[in-house]
Amino acid sequence: MLLFPFQALAETMTEAQKIEALINKVERLGDAVFIRNGKEHTPKEAADHMRLKLGNAGARIKTADDFIKYCGTGSSMTGEAYKIRFKDGSERLSADVLNGFLGDIEANK
The pTM for the full model equals: 0.85
Q: What are 77-97's pLDDT values in tens digits? A: 899 999 999 999 999 999 999
Q: What is the mean pLDDT of residues 15-41?
A: 96
Instruction: Indicate the domain borders of the chain.
Output: 13-106
> How far apart (Å, rounded) are the C-alpha atoms in residues 58 and 34?
24
Report the pLDDT value the prediction gives residue 11, as an integer from 0 to 100: 58
Checking if the pLDDT of 102 tops 60, the result is: yes
Checking if the pLDDT of 6 tops 80, the result is: no
> How far apart (Å, rounded) are the C-alpha atoms in residues 44 and 27?
5
Checking if the pLDDT of 3 tops 70, the result is: no
Report the pLDDT value the prediction gives residue 38, as an integer from 0 to 100: 94
Q: Which ranges of the chain does DSSP label H, i.e. alpha helix?
A: 15-27, 43-57, 64-71, 94-106
Q: How confident is the model at residue 60 (pLDDT cuts 50, 70, 90)?
A: very high
Beta carbons of 40 and 82 less than 8 angstroms apart: no
